[in-house]
Amino acid sequence: MGIRKPETQVETAATLGISQPYLSLLLGGHKPMSEEMKRRLCVLLSDKPSYTTAPAIQGSVVILMDVQIPFQDGEFILNVLDLADSWGVKQGISGGDFFNESAFSIFAHKPEDMIWAEEAEKAREVAEVMLKFIPQWTFLLGNHDAFLLKKLGHQFNHEALLRLAEMPRGCIATDYYWCLVKDAQGSEWRVSHPRSVSVLPTRVPARLADRYHQNIVSGHGHLAGVSCDFSGKHLCIDAGVACDISKLDYVMERDSVRPQPNQGAVILKEVEGRFIPYHLMPQWIDWDALRRAYPSE
C-alpha cells in the first residue's frame, strides 16, 4: 500500500471551495494541511454565500432608470428605444424601479394608484414593447421593486417578482442593485441603483466612482447630469428618470426645495472596441440627427 501524498494548498482550496490565497492567509503560510486542520477549517468557515456574482454585460447597451410603471413616459421611452435599435443595440438594462409598487410602498399613495393587478398588467405590456426593439433586458433591483419583497420578508426574489407580473421571456432579473458593462478594450462601467441620494446632480455617481474606480451610470436620485470624478479618470452620469414627472403627485401637488426631477436615459455605444456614452435628456436632444450618427448599423 502506497503512502498518500499530502495535498497542496491549491488542491485543498479546491476541495473546500475557497481561494488558495485565502486558504494561505488562514493557515498563516503553513503547509501541507492535515485532515484535522481541514475539519477545523470546515467548522470555522461560513456556509453562507458570497455576494460576488453581479451581472456582467459585454457590449453596447441602452439604460432606462426609474420607469416607475404606471407613471412611465411612453413617448420618451419610445424615442430612446428607437434610437438604440437604429444603432444596432441588442441589450438593455432596467436600472431599478421599473415598478412603482404603490400597493406595497412605505409611502402614502392615492387609492387609484394602489391596484397591483393594473400595475403588473401595464408593466407586462411595456416590457413587450421594449423587447420588440431590444431583444434582451437585465432588470436590476430598485428600492421600489423591493417594496413587495420586503413586505414578504424576502421569502421570494426579484425573479419571482417578474414571474408574478407575468413578464415576457427576455426579461432577466437579478437581486443585485448594480451590474457591470464592459467593452472590448476592458473599460468597465458600473450601472447602479444606489442607496445614496443627493440634492446635487452627479454627486452620488462621482462618489461611487471614487469608491469603485469605475465609470458610473446611476439612478434613484431622479437627477441628471455628467461630470468627472476627482481623479479625472472616470465619467459619472446621473441618468435621470424615464417616468413622466407630471404624473408624480408628490412632485406636482406640493412644493419642495429639492431639485426638480430630470428625465434622462443612457446608451453606451461600443465603437471600435470602446464605449462612447450618450446621455439622452429629451429637452436637449435632436432624435433625428442622432439616428443618423451610425447609419450603417
Interval 144-167: pLDDT, tens: 999 999 999 999 999 999 999 999
Of 19-33, 57-71, 111-125, the range with the lowest mean pLDDT is 19-33
* Band (2; pLDDT cuts 50, 70, 90): very low
Chain centroid, CA 192 distance in Å: 5
pTM: 0.87
Q: What are phi and psi of 30, to 5 degrees?
A: -75, 140
Average pLDDT estimate for 1-8: 47
Between CA 292 and CA 296, with CA 294 as vertex, the angle to 5 degrees is 105
Asked whether the predicted pLDDT for residue 91 surpasses 60, the reply is yes
Which domains, ranges and CATH numbers included, belong to the chain? 9-44 (no CATH), 56-291 (3.60.21.10)
* Band (4; pLDDT cuts 50, 70, 90): very low
* Band (33; pLDDT cuts 50, 70, 90): confident
